[in-house]
Structure 1
Amino acid sequence: MTATDTASLATGDTGDPALRPLPGRAAALLASADAPPRLVAHLRAVHDVAAQLVAWVRHRCPRLEFDAEAVLFGAATHDIGKALHPAELSGPGALHEAAGRELLLTHGVPAHLARFAGTHASWTAPGIGVEDLLVSLADKVWKNKRVAELEDLVMARLAAADGRTPWEWFLELDETLTDLGEGADRRLAYQMSHPLTRR
């Protein structure tokens, strides 16, 4: 797969499901890392869900301060370390987390953006921000996986920002995540239609 192929997969038309293009910088980083097609497809799916979550939070909880662009960049690059550990594309493993963060830092990505490669599976670690939680949530919900602990942390941030109770936020968040989950089968089919290895 050439850099041109990677860029096309990262930003071109996806058909059904229609997924937002990855940010240009993320697409360039994936091309530079020679990312496998399935990884790029996965990042498109997670990024698209993250964009929907960002829009929902901005609309429903405008008092919550967060860096939306960081969330979108984090969703678009969170698994970039799997370009270095491709076995983790189809099996378990966490080597890609530190490797992805280092890869991004090596390519000049600021630490506050590179961090998502390492935090997307560590939502209870000290110092986790709302941006990290939203990337983690998108990385679960894209395939309709629900993680109560993670959702509770997101609800607590929403409640702290506007004064409504976590229970009130549960009702809203649950409905939104259920709606997002309904597109999971199409997103999974899109991801699986791409090969694990570069041709």
Structure 2
Amino acid sequence: MASEALRRALVDGADPDPRPLPDRVVDLLCRVDAPPRLAAHLRLVHDVAWRLVGWVEREYPKLEFDREAVLFGAATHDIGKAVHPEELSGPGHAHELGGYELLYESGVDAELARFACTHGTWSEPGLAVEDLLVCLADKVWKGARVTLLEDLVLDHLVACSGRERWDVFGGMDEVLGDLAAEADVRLAFQARHPVA
């Protein structure tokens, strides 16, 4: 049964009014009575991923990727912090495997549950573009810009478009800059919701 604080985090419409999480994710968060701050964080990253994916689809329609997988991955990437709440306010990686196991045991296909493990591993060789987009959303929501990660996404965009790298970089830098510029509002939204 979900706490009142969790329910508030799931529907809070205050600025920046992030999109609601998918029903399947809301049900799971309520079932495990996830920390409210986790729900707020997942909404924020999911919202950034939604905007990022929309830009990619408009600007790079030839890029083949699974939009719904990216959005689900962004909405669940840190769900393991429901099992390891100490990692909401401190470092740690136990939530990654914990999140994968929580999702898999809840009937989520391994292909979708993987984002709980891959959201912090962009330097691993061979990651799919879906994983990289989830990683990117998880960084830029708080204003972080990671050159190596952005370069990996850039490689995919250049390859599918045939455009010059500098041209693709300019557009991507602009959209990421716009998303990063809203980080303070997102951080304030997240901070309004309690860790426990």
TM-score by length of structure 1 reads: 0.94
Instruction: Describe how 1:27-66 pairs up with structure 2 within 5 A.
Output: 27-66=26-65
Cα offset, 1:168, TM superposition: 1.7
Residue 164 of structure 1 deviates from its aligned partner by 1.2
* Per-residue deviation, 1:4: 6.8
Task: Please tell me whether residue 9 in structure 1 is matched to residue 23 in structure 2.
Answer: no
Amino acid in structure 2 at the alignment position of 1:39: L
1:105-124 equivalence runs, <5 A: 105-124=104-123
Alignment correspondent of 1:193: 192
Structure 1 residues 29-38 or 110-119, which shifts more? 29-38
TM-score (structure 2 length as normaliser): 0.96
Cα distance in 1 for residues equivalent to 2:4 and 2:62: 41
The structure-2 alpha-carbon separation of the partners of 1:131 and 1:151, relative to structure 1 and needing over 3 Å to count, comes to same
Measured in 1, the distance between the counterparts of 2:135 and 2:165 equals: 19
Is residue 7–residue 28 contact of structure 1 (8 Å, CA) maintained in 2? no
Residues 128-163 of structure 1 show CA distances to partners (whole Å, capped at 9, x for unaligned) of 111101100000000000000000000000011111
Q: Which amino acid aligns with 1:6?
A: L
User: Retained in 1: the 8 A contact 2:2–2:31?
Assistant: no
Separation (CA, whole Å) in 2 of partners of 1:186 and 1:27? 23
Q: 1: distance between equivalents of 2:195 and 2:3?
A: 16
SS class of match (2:145): coil
Give the Cα–Cα distance (whole angstroms) in 1 for the partners of residues 122 and 74 of structure 2: 14
1:17 is displaced (CA, Å) by 1.1
Matching residue's letter, 2:157 = L
Aligned pairs for 1:58-137 (under 5 A) are 58-137=57-136
Counterpart amino acid of 1:189? Answer: A
SS at match of 1:146: coil
Equivalent runs, 1:159-198 vs 2, <5 Å: 159-197=158-196
Do structure 1's residue 144 and structure 2's residue 143 form an aligned pair? yes
Amino acid at match of 2:185: R
Any gaps of 5 or more consecutive residues in structure 2? none
Q: CA RMSD in A?
A: 1.4
- 1:59 is paired with a residue whose SS is helix
Q: Percent identity?
A: 59
Amino acid aligned to 1:191: Q
- May I ask how many residue pairs the two structures share in their alignment? 196
Q: Shift of the alpha carbon at 1:123?
A: 1.1
Q: Deviations over 1:80-110 (max 9, x none)?
A: 0001111110111111001100110000000
Contact 1:97 1:118 survives alignment (8 Å):
yes
